[in-house]
């Protein structure tokens, strides 16, 4: 080797040594007794992008750990584990197609873009300090470089979709009106009541009979013509009761069962009997009531547009991915357990996007913190359910009091999802 070439290559080789040794060690740990040639075997090539057997095994091991951790039903767990190989290989196939196209388009993601997404992720998951972030990463089995790498890869794929697919999506108003006419019952809103409440707090240490006496006194004042706020004004200062909490419009199933039974049939303007629930004795006032109704088109057109654009986007992505595959050099040699991976290509990846970067649906990426156990809260302290008006599960964005059930899917702050490939068929976020 010419000395000049040797001097050029030697520093690069030395830089690679610290990286290659731990990778080999991890590969051997995943595949004890397996020859390195097998571990490094290329199982998928898309143009200039490749995935090795080790890449596949590492990704599969992550998915298996995630399934075992989150799935409690034994039969469902076995079903998911049985298809893990196909799911992982299909994910790799999608990623390499989009990654290769990103190379062709010379798409680069800056550290600043990744920093913005990490900051948003911390905000969404209520992570306040670097120590909390490190703990959340450890709990999720992640390192910060792994998280940043996955975010960067997802942003590249989003950029490809934004440039080459988004412009194909066309939805006009007549399409939206047609959808509305065909699906009227989907938009039916249930009977709802508008409520406010105060809570005689148990945290002050008052005995049950004393709290009941306070609740009875409040009811008497309200029945005598006082407003609920005036009736508890002095008690709030003594930390005997909460402030008045505006619960807003609630539907059947939103409230604690005991509370719902006590207030649902009350006339407008009346105050319930004291009801024992989380935080203390609750007194709930009925402000207004409305019957079940189907809202007019103009009230739900934004929701319909979002649904139809997502549907149209997924259809266009399916066509686009088929075009990419047709125009790419592809060599696939999947392990036997993943031989049926093509059956998975039309479906959504099993696990979610790590920071929900690819989702543009009714579900928000934010993981709200759990409602406080302390009932001494005003309306600003309540948790709001983020659902779209007109959705069958719509609760009209009502605030949650300590007595209401927390929204489905709520997670505690301070944890992060396991990294997973972005769903290529999910619409990119606005501005992507």
| Average pLDDT estimate for 190-219 | 88
Neighbours of 77 (CB within 10 A): 14
The pair of structure tokens assigned to 66 is 């995630």
Is 174 a member of any domain?
Answer: yes
CATH number for position 197:
3.10.50.40
- Judge if 46 and 177 occupy the same domain: yes
Is 401 a member of any domain?
Answer: no
pLDDT tens-digit series, residues 312-361:
999 999 999 999 999 999 999 999 999 999 998 866 544 333 333 233 22
Q: What percent of the chain has pLDDT over 70?
A: 71
Name residues whose C-beta falls within 8 Å of residue 55's C-beta, 6 or more positions apart in sequence. Answer: 43, 92
- Judge if 79 and 168 occupy the same domain: yes
- Judge if 159 and 81 occupy the same domain: yes
- Judge if 172 and 268 occupy the same domain: no
Q: Looking at 262, 290, 318, which one is the last position of a domain? A: 290
Is 284 a member of any domain?
Answer: yes
Q: How far is CA 87 from the centre of its chain?
A: 20
Q: Between β-strands 42-46 and 330-332, what pairing exists: parallel, antiparallel or unpaired? A: antiparallel
Is 91 a member of any domain?
Answer: yes
Q: Is the pLDDT of residue 108 over 70?
A: yes
- Judge if 158 and 252 occupy the same domain: no
- Judge if 165 and 105 occupy the same domain: yes
Cα angle vertex 143, ends 139, 146, to 5°?
125
If one counts the domains in the chain, the total is: 2
Structural domain range at position 208: 190-290
> 């989003």: which residue's tokens?
158
Q: What percent of the chain has pLDDT over 90?
A: 53
Please answer whether residues 375 and 201 qualify as being in contact, where contact means their C-beta atoms are separated by less than 8 angstroms. yes
- Judge if 163 and 246 occupy the same domain: no
pLDDT tens-digit series, residues 150-196:
999 999 999 999 999 998 998 999 999 999 999 999 999 899 999 99
Is 350 a member of any domain?
Answer: yes
- Judge if 36 and 172 occupy the same domain: yes
Q: Is the pLDDT of residue 1 over 50?
A: no
Reported pTM = 0.58
Is 389 a member of any domain?
Answer: no
**pLDDT the model gives residue 71:** 86
- Judge if 100 and 130 occupy the same domain: yes
Q: Looking at 290, 325, 353, which one is the last position of a domain? A: 290
- Judge if 146 and 79 occupy the same domain: yes
Is 3 a member of any domain?
Answer: no
- Judge if 324 and 252 occupy the same domain: no
Question: Which of these, 329, 421, 324, 327, lies nearest to 56 by C-alpha position?
Answer: 421
Please answer whether residues 112 and 88 qualify as being in contact, where contact means their C-beta atoms are separated by less than 8 angstroms. no
Give the separation between CA 246 and CA 257, rounded to whole angstroms.
19
CATH number for position 307:
1.10.4030.10
- Judge if 279 and 333 occupy the same domain: no
Is 226 a member of any domain?
Answer: yes
Q: Looking at 290, 318, 339, which one is the last position of a domain? A: 290
Please answer whether residues 254 and 261 qualify as being in contact, where contact means their C-beta atoms are separated by less than 8 angstroms. no
């Amino acid at each position: 080797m010419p000395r000049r070439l040797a001097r050029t290559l030697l520093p690069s080789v030395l830089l690679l040594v610290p990286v290659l040794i731990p990778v080999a060690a991890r590969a051997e740990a995943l595949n004890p007794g397996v020859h390195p040639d097998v571990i490094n075997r290329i199982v998928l090539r898309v143009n200039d992008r490749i995935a090795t057997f080790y890449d596949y095994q590492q990704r599969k091991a992550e998915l298996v750990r995630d399934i075992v951790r989150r799935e409690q039903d034994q039969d469902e767990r076995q079903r998911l584990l049985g298809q893990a190989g196909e799911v992982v290989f299909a994910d790799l196939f999608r990623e390499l197609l989009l990654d290769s196209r990103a190379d062709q388009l010379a798409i680069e993601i800056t550290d600043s873009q990744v920093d913005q997404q990490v900051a948003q992720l911390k905000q969404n998951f209520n992570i306040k300090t670097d120590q909390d972030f490190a703990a959340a990463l450890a709990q999720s089995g992640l390192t910060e470089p792994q998280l940043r790498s996955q975010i960067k890869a997802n942003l590249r794929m989003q950029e490809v979709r934004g440039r080459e697919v988004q412009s194909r999506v066309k939805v006009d108003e007549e399409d939206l009106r047609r959808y509305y006419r065909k699906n009227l019952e989907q938009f039916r809103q249930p009977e709802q009541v508008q409520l406010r409440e105060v809570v005689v707090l148990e945290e002050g240490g008052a005995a049950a009979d004393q709290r009941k006496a306070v609740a009875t006194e409040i009811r008497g004042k309200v029945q005598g013509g006082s407003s609920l706020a005036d009736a508890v004004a002095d008690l709030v200062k003594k930390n005997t009761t909460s402030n008045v909490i505006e619960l807003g419009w609630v539907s059947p199933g939103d409230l604690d069962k005991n509370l719902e039974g006590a207030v649902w049939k009350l006339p407008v303007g009346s105050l319930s009997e004291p009801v024992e629930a989380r935080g203390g004795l609750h007194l709930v006032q009925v402000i207004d009531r409305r019957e079940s109704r189907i809202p007019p088109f103009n009230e739900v057109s934004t929701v319909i547009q979002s649904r139809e654009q997502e549907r149209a986007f997924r259809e266009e992505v399916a066509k686009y991915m088929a075009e990419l595959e047709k125009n790419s050099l592809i060599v696939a040699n999947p392990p036997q357990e993943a031989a049926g991976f093509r059956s998975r290509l039309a479906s959504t990846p099993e696990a979610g996007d790590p920071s929900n970067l690819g989702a543009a649906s009714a579900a928000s990426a934010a993981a709200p913190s759990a409602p406080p156990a302390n009932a001494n809260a005003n309306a600003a302290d309540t948790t709001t359910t983020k659902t779209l008006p007109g959705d069958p599960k719509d609760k009209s964005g009502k605030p949650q009091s300590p007595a209401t059930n927390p929204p489905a899917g709520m997670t505690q702050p301070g944890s992060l999802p396991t990294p997973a490939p972005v769903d290529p068929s999910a619409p990119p976020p606005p501005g992507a």
